[in-house]
Amino acid sequence: MSRNSLLFSEFDIFSVIERQRASIEPRIHQISNNEILSRPVEDIVEGLIDGFTMTVPILDLEQAHVSQTEGMVEVRSAFADYGGSRETTRVLGTMVTLHIPFTGEEVFFKIRPSSFNSMPPRAVVQRGEVLVTVTGRQLSPEAVKQELDRTRDSIVQYLSWQRSDVCNFNNSMPQLVRGAIEARKAKILQDHNLVSSLGYPLKKRPDAPKTYVAPIARKKVNVASARAAVTQPFKPEPALDEATYQEILSIMHNMALVMERSPTAFQTMGEEDIRQHFLVQLNGQFEGSATGETFNFQGKTDILIRADGRNIFIAECKFWGGPKAYLETIDQLLNYLSWRDTKTAVVIFNRNKDFSKVLASILEATEQHPHKKSGPNKEGETRFRYKFSNPKDADRELLLTVMVFNVPTP
């Protein structure tokens, strides 16, 4: 006879999931307006995921063990199955308990999954263990093992059914949280009469020469609002919009292709001379100034584009000198950044023979950088886009595009 409670019978899994889903929006409304506006959406999502993720228990069957004690047990009359009295009496007997450790949320042992049968298992759940007990006056090893195994297998089956139900919710949860945060952010901006861009344009020269670059129809450049530190009131800052960022990268890319295809013309040039060629092209395509060796916050950077006194693009140009030197280049660039700089690039020129090995080293080394958050997004065979955190403020994100070019010695 068993001394256990009925499992998987108190709550319905659909009701539990709907309550969890309904709790997302109230939780997001507890976050301050300033944090919603200031922190990257993905960082907020990441911070909330654990609180909404549902964790179905996992049984540690390898650590399962049994214990045996003597005590008073309830037994039915031997004639109960033949029309006799069904009353039980307490007698001295034996209790055998199977202890199954588990990890996960204990409450799931009370939840009925969408798939179930008419005979849910019985057991006791306490202190991180499922206890399945068989009792009787005279127990046989075969009968006890059969009962324990049957109950164990039934619990495993019910948890498997639950896991299937919960997995769908957990997979959709980040998107639900992200959507709720973005909706809240849009509402806050609307309430404050803020616009999504502040209009710091880089005007295209009407007489821009077409040397090295294909003609591109330019639109007026909008500057998207960047984020402020969470501890300060939100104030929108100018940031280079995506379309202009991509065109600047394209100009640099096309210039580097010229170097790849005409290595003789550039074989004696060092980093400073090569940088000047990039500056000529950028100045020829945009109104404004792109200057070399311009002081920016903590140091001097290779290429700096400013709009109305604000830094909107920063890049470093280096010859490949190995993974260590490459990571130092990234560190150098990050150290140059002021708090509001959000669009950056590292341009690497390779004069080694094994270009494929250099590309592999760059990808491997970037993964090791402590401020790398996500990526790479491959935008070309030798162009990789990453998202980094600003070393001076973890809540500030910046885009770093790594562009690698092979400039072999003729």
pLDDT digits (tens, 9 = 90+) for 361-405: 999 999 999 999 988 999 888 999 999 988 888 778 889 999 998
Q: What is the model's pLDDT at position 196?
A: 41
pLDDT given for residue 360 in this prediction: 92
Residue 198 included in any domain: no
Contact 238, 312 (CB under 8 A): yes
Count CA atoms within 13 Å of residue 155 on its CB side. Answer: 33
* Residue 182 shares a structural domain with residue 227: no
Residues 23 and 121 in one domain: yes
Q: What phi and psi, each to the nearest 5 degrees, are found at residue 55?
A: -115, 100
Average pLDDT across the chain, whole number: 80
Say how far apart CA 196 and CA 190 lie, in whole Å.
10
Whole-model pTM: value is: 0.54
* Residue 202 domain-assigned (yes or no): no
Do 11 and 110 form a contact (C-beta atoms < 8 A)? yes
Domain tally, the chain? 2
pLDDT category of residue 218 using cuts at 50, 70 and 90:
very low
203 in a structural domain: no
Asked if pLDDT for residue 194 goes beyond 70, the answer is no
Of 27 and 224, which is predicted with more confidence?
Answer: 27
Domain-terminating residue out of 173, 188, 203: 188
Specify the pLDDT at position 309.
64
Q: Let me know whether 242 and 287 are in one domain.
A: yes
State the pLDDT at residue 308: 61
Query: Strand, helix or coil at 308?
Result: coil
| 41 pLDDT above the threshold of 60 | yes
Residue 326 has pLDDT above 90, yes or no: yes
Strands 11-12 and 111-112: parallel
Q: pLDDT tens, 50-91?
A: 888 999 999 999 999 999 988 877 776 554 454 545 567 778
Residues 70 and 138: their CA atoms lie apart, in Å, by 11
- Do residue 51 and residue 184 come from a single domain? yes
Residue 206 lies in a domain: no
Domain end (from 188, 204, 234): 188
Q: What is the pLDDT of residues 272-306, one digit of tens each?
A: 778 888 887 777 776 655 555 555 655 667 788 77
> 136 and 276: one domain?
no
What are the DSSP calls for 171-238, one per residue? HHHHHHHHHHHHHHHHHHHHHTT--SB-----PBPTT---TTS------PPPEEEE---TTS----EE
Separation CA 100–CA 87 (nearest Å):
32
Provide the domain limits for residue 333.
Answer: 223-406
Please give the average per-residue pLDDT across 327-344, as a whole number: 85
Same domain, 262 and 115: no
Residue 24: which residues within 8 A CB-CB, separation 6 or more? 52, 173, 176, 177, 180
Residue 48 forms part of a structural domain: yes
> Does residue 342 fall inside a structural domain?
yes
Residues 46, 146: one domain? yes
Looking at residue 113, the DSSP 8-state letter turns out to be P
Token pair for 96: 């055998």
Look at residues 188, 204, 237 and tell me which one is the last residue of a structural domain.
188
* C-alpha angle 203-213-310 in degrees, rounded to nearest 5: 35
Closest CA relative to residue 219, chosen from 198, 236, 251, 241: 241
| Inter-residue contact 345 to 252 (CB < 8 Å) | yes
Would 210 be classed as within a structural domain? no
Q: What is the pLDDT of residues 136-181, one digit of tens each?
A: 888 899 999 999 999 999 999 999 999 999 998 999 999 999 999 9
Residues 172 and 303 in one domain: no
Q: Are residues 289 and 340 in the same domain?
A: yes
Same domain, residue pair 181 and 257: no
On whether both 173 and 294 belong to a single domain, the answer is: no
Region 11-25 average pLDDT: 92
